[in-house]
Amino acid sequence: MGVLDSFRLDGRVALVTGAAQGLGQGIAVGLAEAGAHIAALDVMPLDETRESVAAEGRRFHAMEYDLRKTGAGLAARIVGECVEAMGRLDILVNNAGIIRRAPALEFSEEDWEEVIRVNLSAAFYLSQAAARHFVEAGRGGKIINLASVLSYEGGILVPSYSASKAGIANLTRALANEWAPMGINVNAIAPSYFATSLTSALRADPERSEALLARIPAGRWGTPEDLKGAAVFLASDTASYVHGAVVPVDGGWLGR
Q: Which amino acid is at 137?
A: A
E-strand stretches of the chain: 13-17, 37-42, 60-64, 91-94, 141-146, 184-191, 246-249
| 91-94 sheet: strands from edge to edge | 60-64, 37-42, 13-17, 91-94, 141-146, 184-191, 246-249
Asked if residue 128 lies in contact with residue 68, where contact means CB atoms within 8 angstroms, the answer is no
User: DSSP state, 224?
Assistant: G
What is the maximum alpha-carbon separation in the chain?
56
Q: Residue 65 catalytic?
A: no
C-alpha–C-alpha distance, residues 158 and 40, integer Å: 27
Name the active-site residue from 65, 125, 161, 193.
Answer: 161
Reported in sequence order, the residue ranges of 90-183 that DSSP labels E, i.e. its strands, are 91-94, 141-146
Name the percent of the chain in helix, strand, coil, to the closest 5: 55, 15, 30
* Dist. CA 84–CA 103, nearest whole Å: 44
Catalytic residues: 161
